[in-house]
Amino acid sequence: MTTRAFRMKLRPGAVDEYRRRHDELWPDLADTLRGAGIHDYSIFLDEETLHLFAVLKLRDGHSAESLPGLPVMQRWWDYMADLMETEPGNRPREWPLTPIFHLE
C-alpha cells in the first residue's frame, strides 16, 4: 500500500459549492476510484489560503494512473473546473507533498 498526498487550490468564493459537490459525489465516480485501488481518501481545506490538501491510500497493484483517460474522470474535472485552478483539459492543478513524518 502507498500513501499519496497533494495540494490543490480553490478559487475565491468556491468553498461551499466545492463541499456541496463532494457531498453529492457521483456513485459511478466513487466506484471508479475504488476500482482503481484508491481508498481512505480525504481532502482538507486551509480556509486562509484556499489550499486543499488531499491524502489517499493506494492498494498494491492499483491502476490509478489510468484514471485521467476515463470519461467519468474527465466529466468530473469539467464539472469542477469553475471552482479550482486547473491544467489544460481541466485536470486540477496538483502539487505533490513530500512526507516528512508519520506516526502509526
Catalytic residues: 22
Looking at this protein, which amino acid is placed at residue 53? F
Q: How far apart are CA 95 and CA 86, in angstroms?
A: 11
Location of C-alpha cell 464539472 = 79
Please check whether residue 55 is in contact with residue 98, taking contact to mean a CB–CB distance below 8 angstroms: no
Give 103: exposed, middle or buried? Use CB within 10 Å, 0-12, 13-18, 19+. exposed
